[in-house]
Amino acid sequence: MKVILLGPPGAGKGTQAQFITERYAIPQISTGDMLRAAIKAETPLGLEVKDVMASGGLVSDELIIALVRERVEQSDCQNGFLFDGFPRTIPQATAIVDAGILIDAVVEIAVVDEEIVARLSGRRVHEDSGRIYHIDHNPPNNVGLDDETGEPLIQRPDDSEETVRNRLDVYHKQTKPLVNFYTELATSGNPAPTFSSVSGLGLLSDVQERLVEALNK
């Protein structure tokens, strides 16, 4: 099973990616991990990436696609793989097709913006322990205080409403167009992955059931 998982920040992609990789016995491939592994292994591509990053440049789509091709040919990808955070843009998605990297299924976890804002901006954290609360769904016993230590909870900068809305804006501009790209590709009549959009709302088990149904189309 070769899968691309799409969805806005806060939709639960990380949790569902772990579920999919365990269920189908496939690795989760992120571009960040892939870049670090290539640099560490000092492969020819890894050395090229190292030079680019050392000069402060951005790693080109061409180089990332070359790394992806190299990665998906490794033995642990025999049963497939799940792309994590890739592709992010139409040029990257087009490059995957042009490179002949076959994908079985593209699934979008769909959650409306206001739900995402409520999910993320409601999080509170105990800084020293990393314990996470939510003002609505998992509140502390005493407002604003950690249950175990009584110390104040904080809202991480990444969870502020302004930051969350900015991240959603970037997603809608850069990554949301991939939904249209893969929808059109799936109906083009050419070899293409199936495309499904599943609701990310409700119980975790319900979302997982929808994902399995979408992947088994």
Q: What is the pLDDT of residues 4-27, one digit of tens each?
A: 999 998 998 989 999 999 999 999
23 in active site: no
Task: Tell me how far apart the alpha carbons of residues 95 and 65 are, in angstroms, rounded to a whole number.
Answer: 7
User: Would residue 37 count as lying in a domain?
Assistant: no
* Parent domain of 208: 2-26+79-215
Euclidean distance between CA atoms 164 and 23, whole angstroms: 31
In a domain, 41, yes or no: no
**109 domain-assigned:** yes
- Write down the pLDDT at residue 61: 87
User: Has residue 73 been placed in a domain?
Assistant: no
Residue 88: pLDDT above 90?
no
Asked if residue 33 is part of any domain, the answer here is no
Number of domains observed in the structure of the chain: 1
Q: How far is CA 188 from the centre of its chain?
A: 26
- 36 assigned to some structural domain: no
167 part of the active site:
yes
Of 50, 131, 167, 176, which is the active-site residue? 167
- In the numeric block, the tokens 């409700």 are attached to 202
Query: Which residue in the list 23, 40, 156, 217 is annotated as catalytic?
Result: 156
pLDDT digits (tens, 9 = 90+) for 123-161: 999 999 999 999 998 999 999 999 999 999 999 998 999
Q: Which of 2, 123, 124, 210 is catalytic?
A: 123
User: Would residue 156 show up in a list of annotated catalytic residues for this protein?
Assistant: yes
What's the rounded Cα separation, in Å, for the pair 80 and 2?
5
Of these residues, 88, 131, 165, 176, which one is catalytic?
A: 88
Quote the CA–CA distance of 96 and 103 in Å, as a whole number. 9
Pairing relation of β-strands 123-125 and 132-134? antiparallel
- Give a yes or no: residue 159 inside a domain: yes
Say what the pTM is: 0.83
Q: Rounded to an integer, what distance in angstroms lies between the CA atom of residue 37 and that of residue 34?
A: 5
Q: In sequence order, what are the beta bridge partners of 142?
A: 145
Indicate whether 158 belongs to any domain.
yes
Cα–Cα distance for residue pair 12/179, rounded to 1 Å: 17
CATH of the domain at 83: 3.40.50.300
